[in-house]
Amino acid sequence: MLAVHLAWVIFTLLYAFFPRLHRHSCHPSCSLSKENCRELAALNLNLNISFSNTAKASQDFGHMYHDRPSAVLYASSAQDIVAIVKLAYFSRNHLTIAAKGAGHSIYGQAQALHGIVIEMSSLKGIEVGVHGFGEAAVPSVEASGGELWIDVVKEALKKGMAPRSLTDYLYLSVGGTLSNAGVSGQAFRYGPQISNVLELEVVTDLH
């Protein structure tokens, strides 16, 4: 069996055709407050932001809420997430952010009206290996929060292993199910997915 070693960032992103922000230069399509637009432009990071293709980010699995964001962020690293969370936390204009995985949330949990949706699907990376040393070593997989469980399973099976606990539907993101414990029909034996996590990388320090 395979335990899960997760490198994941909460708030819990493939972009080639949308405009990229230039440092210190506000994008003409930015509909956030002038201050937030300037702060976004000033971030010294390789951020990919779309100000036009936001319709998809205003929908979720429940189709009950349709809160359209002003921008969608496709981040490539934990540092990008830290930067955008800092911006929202210290914003004087109450900038809202939300993380969107595979889009199976309901009640608008992954939506940010007039804010920024973080598209987690561009946070990629799966490595199957061993966690720990000596007698404490255990087979593990390190996966980014934007990866789908179906892909985690495929990579694990190549090494003759499988995660100990899985949801009944595998086309869900790693970060998405762990944020809700990851309960399924297997939980009675090995516990929910979150109980099989060895490590998490979480954005907590904003200073």
Alpha helix positions (H), the chain? 34-42, 78-90, 149-157, 174-178, 187-190
Would you state the pLDDT for residue 8? Answer: 37
Query: Which of 164, 143, 144, 163 has the alpha carbon at shortest distance from 153?
Result: 163
* Cβ pair 193, 165 in contact under 8 A: yes
Mean pLDDT by 10 residues, the chain (207 residues): 44 33 58 82 74 86 88 84 87 88 87 89 88 81 92 93 90 90 86 89 68
Burial class (CB in 10 A: 0-12, 13-18, 19+), 3: buried
Would you state the pLDDT for residue 55? Answer: 87
Would you state the pLDDT for residue 50? Answer: 81
Quote the tokens at residue 32: 């956030």
* Cβ pair 12, 147 in contact under 8 A: no
Would you state the pLDDT for residue 206? Answer: 60
3-state secondary structure at position 93:
coil
